[in-house]
Amino acid sequence: MPYAEVAISKHLMTEEEKSIIAEKLTKIILEIEGLNDNPISRSIALLDIKEFANLYVGGERRASMIKL
């Protein structure tokens, strides 16, 4: 089962932007897994977009950052 996780700062992307990212990443994970892009393959392709309010890098708070 193809799976990808994206962690982003809260309010960094609109719902429309998240949908665009989800579509593109779904195609990528299907390709990496060697699966055809069809409804059956897509039904098992999981993408988890996690939004977080607090991010600390090197002990310092970051207002916004994206990690793919």
Question: Tens of pLDDT along 14-57?
Answer: 999 999 999 999 999 999 999 999 999 999 999 999 988 887 77
Q: Sign of torsion, CA 34 36 41 42? A: positive
Using pLDDT thresholds of 50, 70 and 90, give the confidence band for residue 63. Answer: low
- Distance of alpha carbon 53 from alpha carbon 10, whole angstroms: 5
| 8 burial via Cβ count (<10 Å: 0-12, 13-18, 19+) | buried
pTM, 2 dp = 0.76
- Distance of alpha carbon 44 from alpha carbon 42, whole angstroms: 5
Domain regions of the chain by residue span = 3-67
Task: Place domain 3-67 in its CATH homologous superfamily.
Answer: Macrophage Migration Inhibitory Factor (3.30.429.10)
pLDDT score for 15: 96
